[in-house]
Amino acid sequence: MKRLPTYRLSLLLTLLWAVLLAGGITLLALWCQPNALREVLSHFKAQPLLIVLNALPIGLLLLALTCLLRNVFWSAALVNFCVCALSIANRIKLEVRDEPVFPRDFGLLKEVGSAMGSYQIRFPSAVIVTVVLISATLAAAGVFIRCAPFPIARLRGWLGSVLGAVCSIGLLAGLIVTLYASNDLYNSFAVSNAYYIPSVFNELGFPYCFCHQFTTYPVDKPEGFNRAEAEAWAASPASSGEGKAVNVIMVMNEAFSDITDADVFAFSAESDPLPNLHALEKQPNALSGHVVVPGFAGGTANTEFDVLTGMQTGALSDTTTSAFRVVNRNLESLFRVFDADGYRTSFFHPGDDWFYNRENVYGWLGAETTLFADQMENLQYKGRWATDDYMAGLIEQEFEETTAAGQSLFHYTTTIQNHMSYTADKYGAGYLFPDVPLQVSVSPEVETLLKVYVEGVRDADAMLGRLTTYFGGTEEPVVLVFWGDHLPYLGDNQAGYTALGMDVKAGTQLDPFTAYETPYLIWANDAAVVSLDWGATVAKLDLPKDGRISAAFLGAAVVELTGRKAESPWFSFLCDLRREVPVVQKDTYLLSDGACLREPELRQWRSPDGALTGEQLQSLVQKWRQWSYYKLRYEEIAP
């Protein structure tokens, strides 16, 4: 039988073909995306470095396989098939969930398989056929066009193949943890919306963005983690249906704070921007204090994560991460606790559903209903932000519809009106802001920041007053929880705080929690006071005298307040831990006896009654970290 003619490429021609094929595969992978290829190329034309950043990882993969297979076309066929399959998966995920494919998705193949039946997926048949045909054509070309032996005889065998592949993969790995990991480089490219991740992927190119995501949103495995041990914690016996049938309304108000209570402000009783908060704090049917949130002047979704799950954003990694970006599976949350008792559960936010990936995350957290800005009718704005007053009306409507249906309601709203920036045009040209009386002189810029911010605080406090008045007039038992997600951003380098003489720069102040404290209020109407046996139940909560708790303990306190502590081993553990250490912020601990200690100091600590040592307390906190990791990585929660 006559052998088919073959052509052997020299080393130089092999490298040339590798470059050309890598470029072609890159273009095909970009063509597989949902946006038009010409739009991507227009971004690349304006920012040529993107061409290299997208093609380079594909070229190095191609080179590694060429070393192993000794055939550049067979290698191209494999790389083309794999890269384009990943690109098609990204397209499908974007169309189904408005979220790109991330490297961490490789660890979720089981969840992906089970979720396939939950979505109506339209496979891009023409794209898939094109990729398969091109891969087959490349494979066929490899039969006729092969590589000539390597010029150096000692490297023609398996040693040379392995060395070449290792060098190529090693270089790619090095680039991923250096060049591709660079946030400065990533953020330097112009995009239409830096906060909308799908748009960024479309505009900067899927290969580059995918490689960048290898080092973003990290979750570190805690020291001593044992999966079997964590499974045993989660499997602890729990009761069900023992909670009190009270409606729970949780409102996390954007940048809500009581910084205006500082002595540097000179508000009178008549001009007080927080009259409702101050009046309610004095009522016997209210609990108040401060939550210590994950971040300073930002990170709204991180506070949502901490409150709803009982995990801590700051403990997920030694480096900065975004809690909602590491969520990719069903998690135990307040929504699920109340849902198990037959509650209707809902989440409202007058912003975009893609921001912080909330549309997907709240599904994983178990919210039965979500409502975002594009779904809200007759949305009312004050300047460019949806008003707190409108959201109060929406909450009242949700409550009325739920109780009319004979259900109890667990509801969570995240507001947006008092979001930065606090510029003079925030509420429209010519808006007149009331003066902010001060004991010190400040620059016009700082004065504007304060006037605009305090106007938002007034509206937030008015929302609190409206809700308590409304729920105070209903016979249905209601508990309202109202707090702020973080302190306001008052200029670069804390300019506003510095001008006021307020030391809030993280790590510099005598009190390490000052930069992270926002007020909270837990209020019960008359019906809830009776239903919960308010006085006795509140006493059993054993909240610290100064009212300071980590945000991750706030949701657990609500679970216990409504009689549901025994229904969840996880939230029960959090309630018990909070009694020993009300605040944990990275390696700083505020203990139940009022002592504030760093980890090295904690090792020498012992409780006044001698029942608990610092090492035992550290062990409890470590259990918290390990259990959180188990939840994020392994725990199976039914939809």
* DSSP class per residue in 295-364: SSS--HHHHHHHHHHS--GGGS-SS---HHHH--S----HHHHHHTTT-EEEEEESS-TTGGGHHHHHHH
pTM for the structure as a whole: 0.86
Crossing angle for the helix pair 551-561 and 569-580, to the nearest 10 degrees? 120
H/E run at residue 558: helix 551-561
Q: Which two tokens stand for residue 351?
A: 């912003």
Give the residue among 335, 459, 343, 333 at the shortest CA–CA distance from 402: 343
- Kindly report the CA angle at 279 between 278 and 283, in degrees rounded to 5? 115
| Residues 6 or more apart in contact with residue 489 via CB below 8 angstroms | 255, 297, 298, 420, 421, 422
Give the residue among 418, 411, 431, 304 at the shortest CA–CA distance from 368: 411
H/E run at residue 548: strand 548-550
Q: Which two tokens stand for residue 246?
A: 């009270």
Calpha distance 138→616 (Å, rounded):
62
Residue type, 101: V
Give the residue among 548, 450, 500, 453 at the shortest CA–CA distance from 263: 500
Q: Is the dihedral of CA 277, 282, 285, 286 positive or negative?
A: positive
Calpha distance 252→316 (Å, rounded):
22
Q: What is the mean pLDDT of the chain?
A: 91
Q: Which domains does the chain have, with CATH numbers?
A: 7-215 (no CATH), 249-565 (3.40.720.10)
pLDDT of the residue at 194: 82
Q: Which two tokens stand for residue 259?
A: 């910084």
- Three-class secondary structure assignment of 217-233: CCCCCCCCCCHHHHHHH
- Kindly report the CA angle at 610 between 609 and 616, in degrees rounded to 5? 125
Calpha distance 460→622 (Å, rounded):
37
Q: What is the pLDDT of residues 521-537, one digit of tens each?
A: 999 999 999 999 999 99
Q: Which residue has the tokens 């830096």?
A: 194
Say if residues 513 and 486 touch (Cβ distance below 8 Å). no
Residue type, 619: S
pLDDT of the residue at 387: 98
Q: What is the pLDDT of residues 91-124, one digit of tens each?
A: 988 887 677 888 877 765 554 454 455 456 778 9
* DSSP class per residue in 79-148: HHHHHHHHHHHHHHHHHHHS----GGGGGGHHHHHHHGGGS-----HHHHHHHHHHHHHHHHHHHHEEEP
- Kindly report the CA angle at 196 between 291 and 211, in degrees rounded to 5? 100
What are the mean pLDDT values of the chain's consecutive 10-residue runs (639 residues total)? 71 90 96 89 92 96 92 95 94 81 72 50 89 96 82 66 91 96 93 84 93 90 96 86 91 98 96 98 97 93 97 90 90 97 97 91 97 96 96 98 98 96 92 95 96 98 98 98 96 89 66 91 98 97 95 98 96 96 93 87 83 90 97 91
3-state helix, strand, coil in the chain (%, to 5): 55, 10, 35
pLDDT of the residue at 115: 47
Calpha distance 76→62 (Å, rounded):
6
